[in-house]
């Protein structure tokens, strides 16, 4: 996908739930020089109209309407997980580029079908990973690419969010460890897991 001159990529968002509205629309909004939300699709008409009031464009309640919109170049598939493969493939066949929310698919065969559809259409298919370019993930990638840890077959990772004070459960009075405990960096866990597997 190439940006023609200074024209932003025209985006349609399918699904206006937590991901579609709270993540993708929010992330795209300050990037108006690169992306412009021109259409949305959600079965809840009120959500669609709220999006139109904020971003302009058109709101569809059926996916076919979004697929048929000639202005949309890229579709963000932020629908329920079980719809990711089928709706990504439909959009690729309609000539749209795809950013698909994770998980990509529940079965390898579905993921393979998505990749094959993208190749056949000559369109971009990417799975959204919102932390792909964070420093710790880039460092893990660098270390893996160096070969220093050998062949990696699994990387267990945890992400813990700090909740706003009003959403936190009360702290236990029994002297138990705090709810949010810092963990060793994922690189140390990666090395330790690899070492344990060798020793078994």
Those residues whose C-beta lies under 8 Å from the C-beta of residue 182, and which sit 6 or more positions away, are none
Predicted confidence at residue 186, as pLDDT, reads 46
In this predicted model, which residue has the larger pLDDT, 123 or 151?
123
- One of 3.40.50.2300, 3.50.50.60, 3.30.1390.20, 3.40.50.720 is the CATH number of 9-127, namely 3.40.50.720
Q: State the span(s) of the chain assigned CATH 3.40.50.720.
A: 9-127
pLDDT of residue 95 exceeding 70, the answer is: yes
Q: Tokens 């459960």 map to which residue?
A: 169
DSSP 28: H
Edge to edge, what strands does the sheet with 74-77 contain? 58-60, 35-41, 9-14, 74-77, 97-100, 125-127
In this predicted model, which residue has the larger pLDDT, 169 or 149?
149
CB 87 within 8 A of CB 20: no
pLDDT of residue 197 exceeding 50, the answer is: no
Please give the structure tokens belonging to residue 91.
């959009």
């Amino acid at each position: 996908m190439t940006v023609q001159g200074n024209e932003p990529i025209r985006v349609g968002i399918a699904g206006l739930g937590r991901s579609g509205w709270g993540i993708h629309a929010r992330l795209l909004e300050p990037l108006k020089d690169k992306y412009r939300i021109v259409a949305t699709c959600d079965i809840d008409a009120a959500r669609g109209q709220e999006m139109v009031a904020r971003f302009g464009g058109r709101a569809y309640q059926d996916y076919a309407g979004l697929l048929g919109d000639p202005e949309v170049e890229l579709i963000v598939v932020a629908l329920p997980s079980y719809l990711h493969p089928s709706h990504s493939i439909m959009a690729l066949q309609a000539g749209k580029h795809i950013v698909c929310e994770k998980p990509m698919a529940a079965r390898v065969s579905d993921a393979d079908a998505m990749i094959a559809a993208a190749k056949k259409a000559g369109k971009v298919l990417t799975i959204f990973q919102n932390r792909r370019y964070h420093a710790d993930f880039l460092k893990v990638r660098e270390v893996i690419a160096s070969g220093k840890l050998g062949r990696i077959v699994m990387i267990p990772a945890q992400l813990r969010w700090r909740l706003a004070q009003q959403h936190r459960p009360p702290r236990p009075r029994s002297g138990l460890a705090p709810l949010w405990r810092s963990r060793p960096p994922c690189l140390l866990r990666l090395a330790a897991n690899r070492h344990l597997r060798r020793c078994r």
